[in-house]
Structure 1
């Protein structure tokens, strides 16, 4: 749509991360039209204690949802986030799932079946914050258990997800850490609708989390917000 917003100035200072990740269900709006950001809690190949799935939680959610509510007509609030488990049928209630550090993701048969059904019903997932060949191999091993017939394809700038709200000008994004060059991948259904977006060698959640500080340049936080907004808009309109 060619919209241009100065995003970073809209972010307020928010509460610091809690020690033990917990869901925010008690604070969610009752109105079902509200968008809820659902973060996936998963087994890190048998190591629940690492909490890699909770990296950037909940500051990333709060900052991102505040921006989303201010620059779009999506009805949400900074507290409209929750944690979901992949074997819980209630994942069907959420149009979008967010995975952090999927390079250590281990999926059980029950979780794979439930997530496969989620995609069959039209769900959308973001995979963020992982890098390197070992983590990619581990991630793809789990994805093959979920969607064995799907192919992972590298996305280019002309894909509709990068143009559906903000017109993303480049995918040559500088990662927040010393990752390799940022790359974007996706999986689509039989009709060509994208259902999986992968931020590889990147961590947009980190930019969201620290956007109300001077930890990262404002320009990089802005680009991370634009990507996140586009992901939500694409998921809810395609």
Structure 2
């Protein structure tokens, strides 16, 4: 509920465990996003507890909206990197029947007609650190970096 968030053009949320916004925090985030702010989020290591909490808490922020899958045709997957498939960690591969690449899975939420929230239910920060946990349910280093770069480019140009 800190007013300092209004000084930041981008907020980033990640985590492993469940969490809950207070009513004041949800209201503050709603106001931030309504005023043109942007939220990037990911479930670190693809943790299910964080994923469930993030989806639930975004409903608290915007009760009349839901996160929805970004289509493959989204500009987010085109600039600066053309992304059709990304590599995955061994942990995610084992859950996908041995697949080593998949179409990226990102969810979005629009506010005032603009994409204001981009969320990945699969981990990306391990790839950004280039210290991926092989048991994580996430994108590999190259996929994480490409997606992160595109997410930032989209945010800064829209």
Please report the TM-score for the alignment, with normalisation by the length of structure 1: 0.54
Question: Which residue, out of 156, 161, 184, partners 2:71?
Answer: 156
Q: What is the aligned partner in structure 1 of residue 155 from structure 2?
A: 235
CA separation in 2, counterparts of 1:225 and 1:108? 32
**CA 214–152 in structure 1, closer or farther in 2 if over 3 Å, else same:** closer
Please give the root-mean-square deviation of Cα atoms over the aligned residues, in Å. Answer: 2.6
* Residue 108 in structure 1 maps to residue 22 in structure 2: yes
Could you report, residue by residue, the CA deviation over 1:123-149 in whole angstroms, capped at 9, with x for unpaired residues? Answer: 1111112443x5433222211111112
Q: Deviations over 1:76-112 (max 9, x none)?
A: xxxxxxxxxxx11111111111111275121001111
Q: Match of 2:101?
A: none
Q: Which residue of 2 aligns with 1:222?
A: 142
Aligned counterparts of 1:208 and 1:178: Cα–Cα separation in 2: 17
Deviations 1:22-74 (A, max 9, x none): xxxxxxxxxxxxxxxxxxxxxxxxxxxxxxxxxxxxxxxxxxxxxxxxxxxxx
Shift in Å, 1:178: 4.2
- Bigger relative contact order, structure 1 or 2 (CA pairs below 8 A, ≥6 apart): 2
**Partner deviation per Cα, 1:173-200 (whole Å, 9 max, x = no partner):** 4146448556321111232x21111111
Higher Rg of the two aligned structures: 1
Partner of 1:168: 83
Aligned residues: 144
CA distance in 2, matches of 1:138, 1:109: 15
Q: Secondary structure at the match of 2:140?
A: helix
Confirm whether residue 136 of structure 1 aligns to residue 51 of structure 2.
yes
* TM-score normalised over the length of structure 2: 0.78
Q: Does the CA contact (< 8 Å) of 1:174 and 1:220 recur in 2?
A: yes
Distance between the aligned counterparts of 1:149 and 1:173, measured in 2? 34
Q: Residue 39 of structure 2 aligns to a residue in which SS?
A: strand
